[in-house]
Amino acid sequence: MTMKQLPLYLVCLIFLWACSDNKPTQSVKKPVKEAVEVPDFNADSAYLYIQQQVDFGPRFVSSKGWQECGDFLVEKLKTYTPHVQEQNSPIKTYDGKSHTLRNIIASFSPEKNNRILLCAHWDTRHVADYDVERQNEPILGANDGGSGVGVLIELARLLSQQQSRIGVDIILFDAEDYGNPDGDGSSMTSSWCIGSQYWGNNPHTTDYYAQYGILLDMVAAKDARFTHEGLSRTYAQRILKKVWSEAHRLGYGSYFVYQPTPQIIDDHYFVNTLANIPTIDIIEYDNNTATGFNKHWHTHGDDMRNIDKNTLKAVGQTVTSVVYKE
Ligand code: AHN
Ligand code: ZN
């Protein structure tokens, strides 16, 4: 090497030194989640749990079917976890009738602070106000009432077989669907979702908190499309993204579409606003109906023929995967 080459040599040396990895080997790493086996959601099983509810007949608050189905759901959940509780409180519906509310809560790993809340309403509508006939007779509510519960009971079965890392609370809200058919404004809002309003004001444990919540409402009709409902966008955009991207990864993109749709007053409204837990609503949006709800919504057509196992699988497997990956 000549004296003339020395500067170039030094530049090269400095360059090589700068490129070398001279960071301490104990660098702070982002914690990586271990890969986990996600159990297989059984749509036949979920279907059966819907059938069993529908077999009790209409399940509107205080009816015979409601009483018997409530007992069935409590007993069923008790076979999957010892931590099942009920919230019983006197309530009044818009028609002046008195009832005893029955929220049903099943917890998995209640000692864990890191939790998710999964919910659905288990009562069914007392009238068929969107039907053209027998409007004042109660409906079977296979999809509206039965479906969310069916998915969550199947998830409870899976959780009893394989524990998830995160704690899970399954809440079956009562008295969601006893809203005033002729109401408007705030009286309208408050006459629906009485069970979730009660729970929001009286959580089942002191200082209850969950990282987020997922509400399942009308999740079983054939070719259902689940959209980004307005309140979910306002309160829980991050959870929408998490759930929809998992659905797409699993191949259920035709069900979980990226379309913003109007807000719906549903149980998640009260979980978001009263309990401050960011909660989404997985709820069918039908472009072709005036209401945006399923075509059999609040009619006698909402029976077992309105239940499709492929849709149950799409929703159930997606939620199962989200839960177990936490
Ligand atoms: C209203 O119509 C205000 N909310 C619909 C919520 C609902 C009824 N979900 C099922 N049935
Ligand atoms: Zn309804």
Residue 1 CB coordination number (10 Å): 7
Q: Ligand 2 mean position to 165 CA, how many Å?
A: 33
251 CA distance to ligand 2 centroid (A)?
29
Establish if 22 belongs to a structural domain.
no
Ligand 1 contact via 192 beta carbon (within 6 Å) = yes
Nearest-atom index, ligand 1, CA of 298: 11
Q: With beta carbons less than 8 A apart as the criterion, state whether 319 and 281 touch.
A: no
Distance from C-alpha of 83 to C-alpha of 77, rounded to nearest angstrom: 9
Q: What percent of the chain has pLDDT over 90?
A: 87
pLDDT score at 16? 45
pLDDT exceeds cutoff 50 at 105: yes
Expressed in angstroms and rounded, the spacing between residue 28 Cα and the centre of ligand 2 is 50
Q: What percent of the chain has pLDDT over 70?
A: 90
264 close to ligand 1 (CB < 6 Angstrom): yes
From ligand 2's centre to the CA of 46, what distance in Å?
20
Length of the chain: 326
pLDDT of residue 189: 85
Is residue 265 in contact with ligand 1, taking CB distance under 6 Å?
yes
Give the model's confidence band at 266: pLDDT under 50 very low, under 70 low, under 90 confident, else very high: very high
Average pLDDT over every residue of 34-62: 97
pLDDT tens digit sequence for 187-223: 778 999 999 999 999 999 999 999 999 999 999 999 9
User: What is the reported pLDDT for 32?
Assistant: 76
Give the number of whichever ligand sits closest to the CA of residue 129: 2
Assigned domain for 164 exists: yes
Half-sphere exposure of 39 (CA within 13 A, CB side): 18
With respect to residue 252, please indicate whether it lies within any of the assigned structural domains: yes
Q: Is 180 in the pocket of ligand 1 (CB under 6 A)?
A: no
Q: Which ligand is nearest to the CA of 126?
A: 2
Q: Which atom of ligand 1 is nearest to the CA of 218?
A: 10
Helix (H) or strand (E) holding 47: helix 43-54
For the segment 237-260, the average pLDDT, to the nearest whole number, is: 98
Regarding the beta carbon of 123 and ligand 1, being less than 6 Å apart is answered no
Average pLDDT, the chain: 93
Please give, one letter per residue, the 3-state secondary structure of 216-282.
EECCCCCCCCEEEEHHHHHHHHHHHHHHHHHHHHCCCCCCEEEEEECCCCCHHHHHHHHCCCCEEEE
Residue 18 lies in a domain: no
- In CATH, what number is assigned to the domain containing residue 213? 3.40.630.10
Return the structure tokens found at 73.
């759901």
Ligand approaching nearest to the C-alpha of 189: 1
pTM value? 0.91
Boundaries of domain holding 236 = 39-325
Q: Identify residue 97 by its one-letter amino acid code.
A: K
Pocket test for ligand 1, best of 173, 192, 271 (most atoms within 8 A of CB): 192
Chain position carrying tokens 């999740």: 219
Choose the residue to mutate in 180, 293, 306 for probing ligand 1, maximizing ligand atoms within 8 Å of C-beta. Answer: 293
Counting other chains too, the contacts that 68-72 makes at CB distance below 8 Å and 24 or more residues apart are 69/122, 70/102, 70/104, 70/122, 70/174
Residue 250 within any structural domain of the chain: yes
Q: Does residue 200 sit within a domain?
A: yes
Give residue 182's pLDDT. Answer: 87
Residue 314 lies in a domain: yes
pLDDT of residue 183: 76
Count of structural domains within the chain: 1
More confident residue, 34 or 110: 110
Give the atom of ligand 1 at the shortest distance from the alpha carbon of 291.
2
Cβ-contact 170, 105 below 8 angstroms: yes
Closest ligand to C-alpha of residue 125 is 2
Does some domain include residue 307?
yes
Question: Is the CB–ligand 1 distance for residue 84 below 6 Å?
Answer: no
Q: What's the CA-to-centroid distance between 231 and ligand 2, angstroms?
A: 17
Q: How many angstroms separate the CA atoms of 51 and 173, rounded?
A: 19
